[in-house]
Amino acid sequence: MFTILIKIFFITFFINLLYELLHSLLYKTCEEASLKKYIYLIIKGAVFDGISIVLIYFLSFLIFKAQNIFENYFQLFFFFIISIIFAYLWEIYSLKSGKWQYTESMPKLFGSGITPLIQLALTGILTFFVLLL
């Protein structure tokens, strides 16, 4: 199990690094940051996302006992829902605490940006697709 968690982290780190770069244009915090701070924010975000996906996957494994998340649609659905809930709560907390701000271009849903709201679920499922299928 440890080996698969490490693989998940590294694959999801690189997928999230790309995702962070692409949607960073929707963050005022990134837009106004120096290059050094921008690189730090992007890498920190990709690491945090990687750890989050590993933890949510591991929780789903403990509950459903399947390493291949595509073999159990309830496990896949569980991962998807928990990822969305976690992302929403983290976004709302981060916005209220001033960790970052959106630009006017960020599409929002219930006070959270849509791209960060779906990020963990989409990049996690893409990671499992790359790793497990």
Chain mean position to CA 39? 17
**The total number of structural domains that make up the chain:** 1
Q: Which residue has the tokens 């990049």?
A: 123
Structural domain for 100, as ranges: 2-132
What are the residues facing 109 on neighbouring strands? 112
Q: How many whole angstroms separate alpha carbon 81 and alpha carbon 124? A: 12
- DSSP run (H or E) holding 29: helix 28-31
Residues in the chain: 133
**Which residues in 93-119 are b (16+ Cβ under 10 Å) and which e?**
eebeeeebebeeebeeeeebbebbbbb
pLDDT at position 121 over 80 = yes
Q: How much is the pTM? A: 0.92
The tens digit of pLDDT for each residue in 69-120 reads: 999 999 999 999 999 999 999 999 999 998 888 988 899 999 999 999 999 9
